[in-house]
Amino acid sequence: MIILLLASTGCRVGSLPGLTLGNLSKIPDYGLYRITFYEGTNNEYYTFTTRATGIDTYLQYRQRSGEKISFNSGKWEPGDIPLIRLQFDVNDILQVRNPKAMRLNTLRMALEKHLIRCGLRQVEHPVEINTNTNTNPNTNTNSTKRIRKTISLSTGFRKHVISTFIEAGLNHEIRELMVGHATQLDQHYFRPSEDQVLAEYLKAEPLLTIDPAARLQRENQTLKQERSTEWLELKAEVDSLKALLKG
């Protein structure tokens, strides 16, 4: 679910620990979620997720485990419960029903371990560096440094989403709003409706969808609609020819 959020919204990883169930609302017509980041602050903004089922699957698991949460009218309740909680022992009902929000460092470690297991990252151990300059015999001659990655853990997802928005030809101002880049000028002179923002996001959604099954399902629905339209047009032509022959 964490990967779904990062890969479909382009949010900063630091925004995830503060998310609650109240920050999400499902749009039934499209099966995706509207999600608000930094709610109640000057940095508040909203965007959407793809139609993948990761959020529902995760929350339904918590619900089955005994956590007192429920889904009503497009929202998970209660709204003040953390969206991403620490792992818990399903056999400890007190722990299950008292969710603790996952801290940023813990979230980063969990994400990094998952990416390593998936083969998307390699374990790169610190290397020993000889810093002996023969100038001070008391100086420690060996030190270790962490190996920095070309793309940081969270920035890679964010760059991918923004690049996808550009590739899909999204409106520039709306694109900036959806990744929290809005300027004061944008806020004062351009305030798009939620329908406008959603319409722009839907342009990029097929390119952001990770699950191939979801993409194939959407393509099948589109194909059925196109065939239905073609059939109706053909029927209209046949009816028109029949009318001419009868005349």
Domain ranges of the chain: 2-123+150-210, 220-247
Return the axis-axis angle of helices 104-117 and 2-9, rounded to nearest 10°: 90
Q: Which of 71-80, 112-121, 165-174 has the lowest mean pLDDT?
A: 112-121
Closest to 191 (Cα-Cα) out of 182, 200, 202 = 182
Does 2-123+150-210 carry CATH code 3.30.310? no
pLDDT in tens, 112-167: 888 888 877 777 766 655 555 555 554 444 445 556 665 566 688 899 999 999 99
- Using pLDDT thresholds of 50, 70 and 90, give the confidence band for residue 227: confident
Return the axis-axis angle of helices 194-208 and 155-167, rounded to nearest 10°: 110
Q: Report CA dihedral (160, 161, 162, 165) to the nearest 10 degrees.
A: 120
Please spell the DSSP secondary structure of 107-118, one letter per residue. HHHHHHHHHHHT
